[in-house]
Amino acid sequence: MKVLLAFGTRPEAIKMGPLLKKLEASPRITPVVCVTAQHREMLDQVLNLFDIKPDFDLDIMRDGQGLGYITQAVLSGLSDVIGTCRPDRVLVQGDTTTTMAAALAAFYAKVPVGHVEAGLRTGNLMSPWPEEMNRKLTSGIADLHFAPTVQAQNNLLREGVAADRILVTGNTVIDALMYASERIDCDTALRQQLDERFPFLNAADAQGRRVILLTAHRRENLDGGLERIFTALSWIAERPDVSVVFPVHMNPKVREAARTLLNGRDNVHLIAPQEYLPFVYLMKRCHLIVSDSGGVQEEAPSLGKPVLVTRDTTERPEAVAAGTVELVGSSAEVIVKRVAHLLDDAEAHRTMSRATNPYGDGRASDRIVARLRNEELQ
């Protein structure tokens, strides 16, 4: 059984990496990897971490690329790849434009599609945009749906997907997180390298400062939201008991707003985008996280880190229900209030830190491979 894995961004690669390793170790399954490089540098970092050598690389990334360009480039490129390698199945992950366009290319070639991380929904096509539509379109094409949670499964059932075409697996990002966290904990030389890479963390500990890890990049926050979020963090940084660490996304709008509103403070550290292992290290070392990332909402609970999500909606409501995540939007006043609450109320911080992660046990990839093998034998 030849399975083509198609992905193009850092988050997709992180979540596909553990699955690819399990497929490579599985008898009777031959995995083939096509990367679109919708993101280039950040994707390559993860390929190196998991020692992934793509069989096909579309290398589509261009300066100022728009969604229309990405869609047509992936659709055309994947159509050629499918025609060349003739897979029995295509696997896509999540909600990117690569995901949707790769699924469509497989559909045009009459190749069945498996959707990893299927069934996430906010119910609002404009939030997150365009990811919510990408998910729905991919679900309409896929014939196998690997849902990370029961709630995601229920979303698919309400949309008419047959129950026997859905498998609740947990999220493969937890597989990746456990791999990375174990490497950091067990590899003394690696941990020393990471300590030396971020000397301000030990300095913060020595000064009694708690570290707030910030990430921000989503499209819906580019129109004013970033400025409000960064203003909030600049106000928070006036406290003598905190340090803010922000791996600044490569998007020029994010970088300009960060330089304008956050630069010049000795307890605000604007650093380069981090590879996955160093970012996991930063999550392990921080006190709390302020983020608009989807993946962080899934990963941080396994590390006992509260997450304040700077969005109005989330396709991951399980974390909100479990108490590991709180939606705070992009109001500067609200963000400051909720961060202060977690800094000043130790019990509130402990409650969020101890909540159970609803996204799985680190064996999602095993379950997906078992289902694919069962399909192959039928």
Q: 179 with 185: CB under 8 angstroms?
A: no
Q: Are residues 273 and 367 in the same domain?
A: no
Average pLDDT, the chain: 94
Q: 221 with 249: CB under 8 angstroms?
A: no
Please report, to the nearest 10 degrees, the dihedral formed by the alpha carbons of residues 360, 54, 107, 163 taken in order: -20
The number of folded domains in the chain is 2
Q: Which domain holds residue 125?
A: 2-171+361-377
Residue 291 lies in a domain: yes
Residue 184 lies in a domain: no
Residue 59 lies in a domain: yes
C-beta atoms surrounding 333 within 10 Å: 11
Q: Are residues 85 and 210 in the same domain?
A: no
Higher-pLDDT residue of 64 and 163 is: 163
| CATH number where 269 lies | 3.40.50.2000
Q: In this prediction, what percent of the chain has a pLDDT beyond 90?
A: 83
Residue 178 lies in a domain: no
Q: Are residues 161 and 219 in the same domain?
A: no
Q: Are residues 368 and 350 in the same domain?
A: no
Residue 15 lies in a domain: yes
Which pair of tokens denotes residue 294? 């989807």
Q: Are residues 366 and 303 in the same domain?
A: no
pLDDT band at 377 (very low <50, low <70, confident <90, very high): low
Q: Are residues 225 and 341 in the same domain?
A: yes
pTM (2 d.p.): 0.89
Residue 329 lies in a domain: yes
Residue 156: CA count within 13 A, CB half-sphere? 31
Q: Are residues 339 and 367 in the same domain?
A: no
How many whole angstroms separate alpha carbon 121 and alpha carbon 135? 8
Higher-pLDDT residue of 214 and 50 is: 214
Q: Are residues 159 and 287 in the same domain?
A: no
Q: What is the arithmetic mean of pLDDT over 310-331?
A: 92
Strand order in the sheet with 166-168: 56-57, 30-35, 2-7, 89-93, 113-116, 144-147, 166-168
pLDDT at residue 218 in the model: 76
Q: Are residues 126 and 70 in the same domain?
A: yes
Residue 188 lies in a domain: no
Assign residue 54 a region: left if phi > 0, alpha if psi is -120 to 50, beta otherwise? beta
Q: Are residues 198 and 151 in the same domain?
A: no
Q: Are residues 29 and 91 in the same domain?
A: yes
Q: 274 with 293: CB under 8 angstroms?
A: no
Q: Are residues 242 and 328 in the same domain?
A: yes
Q: Which residues are catalytic?
A: 95, 117, 131, 217, 219, 249
φ/ψ (deg, to 5) at 81:
-65, -45
Assign residue 123 a region: left if phi > 0, alpha if psi is -120 to 50, beta otherwise? left
Residue 185 lies in a domain: no
3-state secondary structure of 244: strand
